[in-house]
Structure 1
Amino acid sequence: MLVFWKQRLVFLAVPKTGTSAYARALGPHASMVVNDPPELKHAPVYRYNRFFRPMYEKMGAEHMDILAVIREPIDWLGSWYRYRQRPFLDGRPTSTKGITFDDFCQAYATGDRPPFANVGSQAKFIEPRPNGVSVSHLFKYENQDCLIHFLEERLSTKVDLPRTNESPKTDLELTPETLAKLHRKCAADFDVWESAN
């Protein structure tokens, strides 16, 4: 999470949406960079609302704009799948080694996800709170030009993104049945992505 106090902007770190690169590029310009623990670095709207918003309000910020990036859901799942293929997870329940992408997505679309497919939901991450706290600026991961333009205008600085945290390339084939199941079971994630800039 990046906080730009003077600009009244909070950049939430939705996992697997390139936020590590933005943290590296914009960290020197931020008032606060939350790197650890992961539960706070990747604080969703509900955790931001509970822990961070009250603190900012006490310091005089009645309103902070919230920015988030959303990735096309199949591509987002593919990034998780590839990340969990890495050797450092070998032998752990969260490893996807020896599991096809189709099996990973089938497991993700079940009600009780096994550890290797338990990666959360982008729609849940940005879900508005009952008190009205919600994402003000939602961008598609695939539309980096629009996001960079917004950040350069809002922060009055040039954004030069490094390439970081790239997962190994691998086959991401899905059967039509699995694709249909994902669209049915994860409709909120597809809707949120379609609604973004």
Structure 2
Amino acid sequence: MSKTYIGLVHYPIYNRNNEVVTTAIANFDIHDLARTSRTYNIKNYFIIHPLESQIRLAQDVMDYWKTGVGSKYNLDRKEAFTTVETVPDIEAAVDQITAKEQARPIVVTTDARIYPNTISYGHLREKIAQNDHPCLLLFGTGFGLEKTMMNQFDYILEPIYGGGEYNHLPVRAAVAIILDRLLGEAWWQAGNTD
């Protein structure tokens, strides 16, 4: 099993006016990223948010599916929620991973631009497969992580390019695409021509 973790970051985030804000936790993000995380054997999905009121909201949703009525109603959802935790900031997620794995994770984020420390999907997939260090993949909400944060990360994953000029995927879709590229079946090597 890979030592891969993900984090959904809600601060510091740009809004549509290029102002730094704290975004709200979206119910769909909690559910869909939990299910995607479990599908790709992510060790933990961290909801990273500094506001206690938002953490309580997320915790209420998580409790409903982990131990409440939802845990009896939908066992698949209960299992998916076993990967989800809340932390106040990125460093708290890094600290938890470091304590659990006895090694500081490689921290990788995503952006729609190229940086000097941009890494390809193939190269990062190889690093994860080597299993030498844990890996924390960070995803921004809103209009992306504040740019000075980029210097703190080990790598920035190359952008996802679609088939057209429009390029503003919802975070849930981006996470699914990226996890499949990094951890999914290597279908292009299977030799299937069907």
TM-score, normalized by the shorter chain, greater than 0.5: no
- TM-score category of the 2 structures, normalised to the smaller one: 0.3 to 0.5
Q: Under a length normalisation based on structure 1, what TM-score does the superposition of the two structures give?
A: 0.33
Which has the larger share of strand? 2
Which protein has the larger Cα radius of gyration, Structure 1 or Structure 2? 1
